[in-house]
Structure 1
Amino acid sequence: MSNNAINPFQDFLSTAEPSASTAAKLRMLLPIIENRLLAGATYAAVVTDLNSAGLEISIGVFRSTLSRIRIKNGARHQTAAPAPASTNSTQAASHRQPAALPPPKRIETPADLRQLRDEEIDLDALRQQRRESQRSQRK
């Protein structure tokens, strides 16, 4: 990775309190880290860059700390979806979405988990959706 990509980590780390915990430093760097991950960087690449910038951290500690920060922020594995470029792309995206299936639910309580276990899955509808998706990809 070039020095330009490491500089944002170095800039933020230079302003951090020297006695701050690793988790506090990662919270401060979270926007940069999330942008790198959304751009396709691996955890190992981010950890390598953090180590080069002066924050010594292992990939295991990085993964668990990042997971805890995301959970605490209520943003666990959220990704920013780009805005559709045209109406055609919106129609194509809605064509792939089945009208019968509701959006995925977040499991927050044991009752949510029990409800999810009790739901019936229509395998025929899923097969049909997959076939339609494959047909639209071929065109």
Structure 2
Amino acid sequence: MENDEAIAARLLVRAKEPEQRSKSGRLRTLLPAIEASIAAGLSLEVILAELNSQGLDMQIGSFKSTLYRIRQKKPTSIPLPAPALPVTLTPKTEGIIAPSEQHADEPADVIEESDNLTPKQRREKIADKYVTPQSSNSLLNKFNKKETKQ
């Protein structure tokens, strides 16, 4: 029995023989040249004719679908290397008021748990303290002004 290295070497030799490889395997190897030819303006029919003259023997429909499948499997992004230096992130705390710094005359945004409010109702109740409802509809604003004057 042969050792693993000899078997691997024989497999690599056979993998390089075009008649031993599948059509999609050969196209996968030729993909950069095919893509460059397409980018240069050659049609798929011209490219396939050249490949067929070199012994590929493929129809245009199977050529297109095989190219599609190979492109779908090809990774589109290059993994980025890890940064050489360690990066530490510190949160920005400027402008944030801690509860201990809150002024005594300002109402706290605390709603009792006993209110049995849903999270949405709780948010709306807090927002009502700070937001005054106004309409952006100019006609409605004019109508409301007339109502208040009368």
What TM-score comes out, normalization by structure 1 length?
0.41
Higher helix share: 1
TM value normalised by structure 2: 0.39
Higher relative contact order (CA 8 A, sep 6+): 1
When Rg is computed on C-alpha atoms for both structures, the one with the higher figure is 2
